[in-house]
Homo-oligomer: A and B are copies of this chain.
Amino acid sequence: MISVQEKLKEKGLKVTPQRMAIYNAVVKLNNHPTVENIVDSIKIEYPSVSVGTVYKVLNVLVENGLLRKVKSEKDIMRYDAMMEHHHHLYCNATDRIEDYEDMQLDTLVKDYFNRKKIKGFKIQEVKLQITGNFTT
């Protein structure tokens, strides 16, 4: 469990309170917060944070592999601290997005495409977009 500070240093990025707060907010909020969610969360300990800074920091963290972007139905970007390969469950009634990891499924899909090639296309990654309803 490597710390944010170390991750930033590894990439040659300066360790700033804002970067730590923003990264930690995405981790803590969990489940793909929007920029607005993140700003609200940080405002508690950082009432003066600039929204432009949040956007900038998020882009830096994405470019350096600390976070990833998740696109949602609506035209609003969301962020994900889960960097391992995984799929997403999308609620078709709300904005809820949950992570879904399934190595058995990944094996199944990988085996399938090893046997059945798509002509004219070299597959790099297959992600499932699973839509439906949460019952909990």
User: Interface of A with B (CB < 8 Å)?
Assistant: 71, 73, 75, 77, 89, 92, 98, 100, 102, 104-105, 108-109, 112, 116, 118, 120-136
Contact = CB atoms under 8 A, between A and B. Distances in A.
Given A89-B121, A127-B131, 6 more contacts: A71-B71, A92-B124, A121-B133, A125-B132, A127-B128, A127-B129
10 contacts: A71-B71, A98-B121, A105-B112, A105-B116, A120-B134, A121-B130, A121-B134, A125-B130, A126-B128, A127-B128
Given A128-B127, A129-B129, A120 B135 contact: yes
Contact of A112 (B108, B120, B126): B108
A2 to B, nearest CB: 27
A73 B136 CA distance: 31
A132 B128 contact: no
Given A71-B71, A75-B75, A131 B125 contact: yes
B121 A135 contact: yes
